[in-house]
A and B are shown apart, each in its own frame.
Chain A
Amino acid sequence: MKILTKAAAAVLAAGLMAIPATPVHATGRAAAPTPAPSQGTLTFTIGIQSDVDSTNPFTGIVAEAYEAYQLMYDYLMQSSAKDMTPSPALAESWQESADKKSWTYKIRSGVKWSDGQPLTAADAAYTFNRIIKGDYEQTNYGNYVVNIERAEAPDPTTLVLYVKKPTPIMEHLAIPILPEHIWKGIDAKAVKSYANEPTDGKPVVGSGPFVLVERKKQQYLRFVANKNYWGGAPHFDQLVFRVFTNADAEAEALRRGEIDYAYDLKSAVYDSLKNTPGITARASVYTGFNEVAFNTGAALADGTPIGDGHPALKDKQVRQAISMSIDRDTLVKRVLNGNGSAGDSFIPPIYKALHYVPTGDKQGYDPAKANQLLDAAGWVKGSDGIRAKDGKKLSLRLFTRDASKDSQASGEFVKGWLKDVGIDVKVKLMSEDALTEVIGQGNFDMFEWGWVVEPDPDYQLSTFTCGKRSYKDGGSIYADLSDSFYCNPAYDQLYDQQAGETDPAKRAALVQQMQKLVYDDAPYAVTYFYDDLVAYRSDRWTGFVAQPDPDGSILFQYGIYSYLTIKPVAKETTAASASESGGGGGGAPVVIGAVVGVVVVGAVGLVLARRRRTASADERE
């Protein structure tokens, strides 16, 4: 979730399948069996498209997995629903010591694990120490503990974390606190393959608002509400994550009322749900952005040049010109169907305090200015309309991702716009695995991808530092976080400064300054901020909490607010509108389905007839 966009993570998860990165088109309903509803149990069912890859919090990477961890375990803090600033969770309060060498967290008392054992600061200390000393355990949470030396629990309600140097990340420790009495039995080797799934009918021991009681891979996860949850009992008894193969099937299930909430919808499907009675479709402001990234001069962290990037892109003017040739409003309108906003700097505007809004230096859509910049950079238009300099053509490769329809569409648009300013673009589609590889080696000119930015900006900021460029180990080159190979000493200096700044306002100013640098140097042309598209049965459920208020996501947040507040609407209306929406609609899709079916049957018939014919001709010989 931190490193990968939803789609990327999904592809990684799908990597287990025989043919990776092959889009699977399947119309109609997914025949995934759901757990049988028990009498009198109130169930809230969420449709997801990427199965939780692992319920072991050290292993899973998809957004759906992180959501499951939030439900199963407690965290020291969460991001507030109002504006995503740190707010108390398992830790009621925290304090940085006067000498800035340690942080003390006051752990809630009286909290119990689902097996009845008490949850104390010792469990929290155990979890932190395990990650700090661990190897595999660092994969998902390593960036939170880089600066933490050790964790101690002097008494059951006090957790002390000793730090190497002051760091603001101590207020954003998104680490699930695990039960020591269970996990101490799973050693460093066993944890790699530990499933953390219910066995022999025994649920997974946790402390969150829900307890995982059943899991069927690629089908569903079933949770039971923790009625003793310290934050208040959820207003329903059971929570189900049901896995669908595509958004169409998921939307259909929502229409039929088989699920209550559809997550991760595509804009086309989302639009088709907009005017359905009983269903509310919601485009929430989200923490992700997409960009066209440039190879600004691929090199290893030590400065050794690598890769085969086009030399023109080392020139900031050329990159700015490309950025100005992209009509972002049209991208939002066409590619996102209007469900998003035009991009500028790389911390999304959802983080109001941190987002840098370009003003005088804005690289708006301006082909005339782009042409000027390119002329000034020495790239002159030839007779074929393509610019060239010293006999080298301005012909760039643009890699888009075959798993994403939006990525492909963006590529088409960018190609068209760049042609207008005299840049020849060769679009090539790649699987996300292959693209990651190619980026790490620096063998690209431009690519289209995106990031999901966490409430704490440190991780995202680090992707533009010199030290995060690729590295060499043995004979091979490995990718680190940097994918544009941007390297600016002034930026690195600011990065170190913000990493030690614990005053939120001062830090925000630094973060904005860093974004301004990057915006001007344009290693990325941020194309758009996309919305989180979901739909839910508003005829049955109410009480969702948006994060941030009022336009943010209502589930799959940095926190579990809605799960504690959603409740069923009054019984009578439920029955009435359910029967109403269950009936009509769906005529046109059926007709089209039938036509397509006939076409397919006809085609198969032809092939079969042809086969038989061949066979008979064969026999006659």
Chain B
Amino acid sequence: MNRITRARRRTALVRFWRDLRGHRTAVAGMTILGVFVLVALLAPILADPIGLDVTKSTAAGHMGPSWSYPLGTDENGRSILTLLIYGTRISLLVGVTATLIAIALGTVVGIAAGFYGGWVRSMLMGVTDWFLVIPFLPLAIVLATVLERSLFNIILVIGITSWPGTARLICAQTLSVRARPYMERARALGASDWHQMTRHVLPNVMPLVLANLVLTVSIAILSETTLSFLGLGDPTRPSWGYILENAFGAGAMSNGEWWYVMPPGICVVLVVLAFTMVGRALEATLNPRLKEGAA
């Protein structure tokens, strides 16, 4: 990569950052996300991991909020705040990793379908459509039931059920990129399919991929929470959905223990909201047509 390209890219990045900062929602979203990421990274400092071990808890179960237990205790006497802090880790991890899988899958399928066209496209888009029409939740539940209950599998399940939207989007964008004159020129100069896809198509669909990525994370986190709440998550690692499931199982709803149910729920809403705000802002910044529309 030569100096000119590098400089051009840097200016583009600076301009992108400035544009993004211009969106008030993006700033708010990033702030919220920053807090949650910090909590996830600093979890062992914020709360002693020993608090997750049921055999080490000494407090009574089902306690309301107090100074030593700001969010009360669960049925086993563990601090709900500790669970919540470590839950942040798992929920974010699952959300982001599952999204990476989904986006990678969606991008590959989308580019391949859009680039080759013809029967390849019909076939790939056929599969995509098939995945798209299957209702997400039943498919995810069936997959999660068939597979073992582990963190890896829950990531896999969410990953392979949330790629079709991205694939369609990328396919459409690839179609438009492929029709541009410089692609014809590249072909005339003897560029291989691989070169065209990685050097010309991919950079052009990247903004879309990026925006989609951030938006998919919020759906992935929501899915993780749903599946965990339905008892299909990894029971040995507390995520927010796991806390909600436990609360339900322990009768927190019947007993009116709001301190058990509300915090994980609020966390989920905040993170999903934050990702969505950032994603929308990204989309608006990166997609010139949307920018014009906004202006």
Contacts and interface: CB of A to CB of B under 8 A. Distances in A.
B149 A588 contact: no
A618 interface: yes
A268 B255 contact: yes
Interface stretch (B92-100, B165-173, B183-191): B165-173
Contacts of A22: 141, 145, 230-232
B272 A606 contact: yes
B76 A610 contact: no
B176 interface: yes
B24 interface: no
A466 B101 CA distance: 51
Q: Is the interface of A mostly helix, strand, loop or mixed?
A: helix
B197 to A, nearest CB: 18
B219 interface: yes
A25 B251 contact: no
Contacts of A429: 149, 235
Contacts of A609: 276
Interface centre among B229, B256, B258, B272 (most CB of A within 10 A): B256
Nearest to B208: A617
A592 B248 contact: no
A549 B283 CA distance: 72
B254 interface: yes
Contact of A589 (B75, B142, B253, B283): B253
Contacts of A23: 230-231
A409 B236 contact: no
B272 A603 contact: yes
Contacts of A428: 148-149
Given A23-B231, A413-B55, A621 B175 contact: yes
A436 interface: no
A407 B266 CA distance: 29
Given A272-B255, A610-B276, A618-B172, A334 B283 contact: no
A25 B231 contact: yes
Interface in A403-419: 405, 408-409, 412-413, 416-417
B8 interface: no
A122 to B, nearest CB: 50
B55 A592 contact: no
Nearest to A267: B251
Contacts of A248: 251, 253-254
Contacts of A402: 149, 231, 235
Contact of B219 (A251, A269, A607): A607
Interface in B266-295: 266, 268-269, 272-273, 276, 280, 283, 287, 289-290
B61 interface: yes
Given A19-B141, A607-B219, A266 B258 contact: no
A613 interface: yes
Contact of A268 (B176, B218, B222, B249): B249
Interface string A37-53: 00000000000000000
A23 B228 CA distance: 11
Interface residues of A, number: 52
Contacts of A417: 55
Interface in A568-608: 587-589, 591-593, 595-596, 599, 602-603, 606-607
B14 interface: no
B254 A269 contact: yes
Interface string A268-279: 110110000000
A413 B54 CA distance: 6
A258 interface: no
B248 A25 contact: yes
Contact of B61 (A20, A334, A412, A599): A334
A25 B55 contact: no
Contacts of A606: 218, 222, 272-273, 276
Nearest to B138: A19
Contacts of B175: 621
B287 to A, nearest CB: 7
Contact of B54 (A268, A334, A610, A618): A334
B262 interface: yes
B49 interface: no
A271 B251 contact: yes
A27 B253 contact: yes
A93 interface: no
A135 interface: no
A521 interface: no
26 contacts: A19-B145, A20-B145, A22-B141, A248-B254, A266-B249, A327-B55, A405-B249, A409-B54, A412-B76, A413-B55, A416-B55, A592-B256, A593-B253, A595-B262, A599-B265, A599-B268, A602-B269, A603-B222, A603-B268, A606-B222, A607-B222, A613-B280, A614-B165, A617-B283, A621-B172, A621-B176
Given A588-B256, A610-B276, 7 more contacts: A25-B231, A25-B248, A272-B255, A402-B231, A603-B268, A610-B219, A614-B165
User: 4 closest pairs, A vs B, by CB?
Assistant: A588-B256, A268-B251, A416-B55, A23-B231
